[in-house]
Amino acid sequence: MPVSIARALVMGGALALSAGGAIAQGQKQTAAGQAGRIASQPAYDVGAAKRQIPPVLAAASAAPYGPKGTASCAQIAAGLKELNGALGPDYRPQNIAEKENRAGKFAQAGGKSVINSIIPFRGLVREATGAAPAQRRLEAAVDAGLARRGFLRGLQLARRCKAVD
């Protein structure tokens, strides 16, 4: 990796982490993780780091509505637990009137903007390094995982299984 790109990655990471510090104050622990993801984005863009598709999402991609693992309520619950581990918590209706931390969102947007401006012609670089196709595969696997989780929730309701989170 050329020295100028490495310097840009380090400087951009420091800027994003400092913005992430502003985000993390007074927010949940996930803001720090968000800052880390923002800071590491250039490494993914140039192909220096790779994101792996979790096996549960790869399996969901193959057959999101398949019968495998749906024979019993216990199997359905286990499948849901595994998907929640890969996807995060399932959807829960929230109070729309709940206030957002606008300062945190602003800092997050600023950090992303700084990091994304480090690599000139970012879109072309992502396509050339394979980062863009890898991101599309990951997004498709997440979509399949969400479909599988919805399918399993529907089976859980239809079979009157005890809802387990």
**Domain range list for the chain:** 3-93+102-158
What pLDDT was estimated at residue 128?
74
Higher pLDDT, 152 or 32: 152
Higher pLDDT, 101 or 10: 101
Mean pLDDT taken over the chain: 73
Share of the chain above pLDDT 70, in %: 58
| Lowest mean pLDDT segment, chosen from 24-38, 64-78, 148-162 | 24-38
Residue 113 in this model has a pLDDT that exceeds 60: yes
Does the predicted model carry a pTM greater than 0.85? Answer: no
**Buried b / exposed e along 46-74 (16+ C-beta atoms within 10 A):** beeeeeebbebbebbbeebeeeeebeebe
